[in-house]
A = this chain, B = another copy of it.
Amino acid sequence: MASWQEYLAQNRERFIEELLEFLRIPSISSLPEHADDVQEAAEWVAERMLQAGIEGVRILPTEGHPVVYGDWLHAPGKPTILIYGHFDTQPVDPLELWTHPPFEPVIQNGRVYARGASDDKGNMLIPILAVEALLQTEGKLPVNVKFFFEGQEEIGSPHLPPFVAANRELLACDMVVSSDGGQWSEDQPALSVAFRGLCALQIDVVGARRDLHSGSYGGAVQNPIHALVRILDSMRSPDGKILVDGFYDDVVFTEEDRRLIAQVPFDEAEFKAELGVTELFGEPGYSTLERIWARPTLEVNGIWGGFQGEGVKTVLPNQAHAKITCRLVANQQPARIRELIAAHIKQHTPPGVKVNVHPFASAADPYRMPVDHPGNQAARAVHLQLYGKEPYYVRSGGTIPVCSLFLQHLGAYTVNFAFGLKDEQAHAPNEFFRLSSFDRGQQAYCLLLHQLATVDSAD
């Protein structure tokens, strides 16, 4: 019998053809007219899983687009790994910037160009192919595997939380491995160990019962814009520290965090040039990567009030508004931070106006996993073997809610194990995926599943 390495090599052309077939389905989750295509992608995935030898395959409904589930659970005493990915894609606008039609994949210079190639069809197909190779060559898997693919990631997975909460048993596992994401570069692996969370609110400041003439009333009543400006300014020191009482209380930031972040190269000059700024600015005492990855923020996303047209209008407006989001880090809690901000606003409201604080439902817990989690240890071993290098332990300043979701409902951490690269135009025109990553990913998953067999299933 051939080795899985030989199987992957022998079936390479077919796997690529299958990827192209998968990419031809325009499964754009944000557009109602593509709902059938998302369904078709689910069916394609289910069919491909069956073909790989995965069992119990089923398409399960949610309140929105469906999910696909399948498993192989014949490794008693071994850990159970839930492999996650998504088969929906971003829209394609602006279409005119695409060199080729986004759902007519072409291969050029070792790259597959198509919407969804890197994010996430190419990446999510990899573990299915790896499992097929192992089953076809070894007759079994080294661990128990569950697959959980969703079709609404690109619209924020709105219906996933109730689904996961309602399917705790079906999805129960020792850890999650996510096939959505990427590596640092072609020759440098990375493991993601933290994402920031989010909370959001709106501040509405109201003064007089109507807009006033600034001549007849100006100087005698509080201007809601001035009041809002004062409230907002009170939240942050001139040098960039958030002054909301208790804001940093639950933040975890260790010397080890600092050490690991310092190992990741960062080119400040390039960063500034990309943004077109002459100077960076942020919380004193932290590096730029620390500020983005490991420190919370309080950011005004929008502000408005009074006259915004051309020229001059001598109005003393009666309302002013601002939207705020905070990026949170472990162990800050969105609801708690919103409360602290509301309390700060109450305490700092100037005389003569009423202030209403409207919390938004949009919220996400920050995610932070142990750097030495058994899943990370296994992934590190694979990376060492494939890249010949220690991975960077990286983070994202953004929010990947699914990791917190699995932690909350399944009690399982998510190991991020995917092979996209930063230049692959995810969410942009001319998205592509490297065939070299497609190949390496398949080997990596075969190696990872073997590595994970040594992990204690009581993790």
Contacts and interface: CB of A to CB of B under 8 A. Distances in A.
Nearest to A276: B209
A283 B297 CA distance: 34
A327 B215 contact: yes
Given A214-B297, A220-B292, A280-B220, A303 B225 contact: yes
Contacts of A320: 303
Interface in A198-240: 198, 200, 207-210, 212-223, 225-226, 228-230, 232-233, 236, 238
Contact of A196 (B215, B303, B321, B396): B215
Contacts of A238: 230, 350
B362 A311 contact: yes
Interface string A169-187: 0000000000000000000
A160 B295 CA distance: 60
B301 A303 contact: no
Given A221-B280, A327-B218, A198 B314 contact: yes
A137 interface: no
A162 interface: no
A54 B428 CA distance: 77
A399 B215 contact: yes
A166 interface: no
Contacts of A296: 219
A276 B327 CA distance: 37
A325 interface: yes
Given A327-B218, A352-B281, A230 B230 contact: no
Interface residues of A, number: 76
A223 B316 CA distance: 26
A153 to B, nearest CB: 15
Given A219-B327, A323-B306, A397-B216, A301 B313 contact: yes
A387 interface: no
A104 to B, nearest CB: 29
Nearest to A321: B308
Contacts of A352: 277-281
Contacts of A213: 398
A302 B317 contact: yes
A305 interface: yes
Given A200-B314, A215-B399, 19 more contacts: A196-B215, A209-B277, A213-B398, A214-B299, A214-B327, A219-B296, A220-B271, A221-B275, A221-B277, A222-B281, A226-B232, A230-B233, A230-B238, A301-B307, A301-B315, A303-B304, A304-B305, A311-B360, A312-B325
26 contacts: A200-B312, A213-B398, A214-B301, A215-B398, A216-B396, A216-B398, A217-B292, A218-B327, A219-B296, A220-B292, A221-B275, A221-B277, A221-B282, A223-B299, A225-B300, A226-B299, A228-B303, A279-B351, A300-B306, A301-B314, A301-B316, A302-B313, A302-B315, A302-B317, A303-B320, A312-B323
Interface of A: 196, 198, 200, 207-210, 212-223, 225-226, 228-230, 232-233, 236, 238, 271, 275-283, 288, 291-292, 295-297, 299-308, 311-317, 320-323, 325, 327, 350-352, 360, 362, 396-399
Give the top 3 A-B pairs by smallest Cβ distance, nearest first: A215-B398, A209-B276, A302-B306
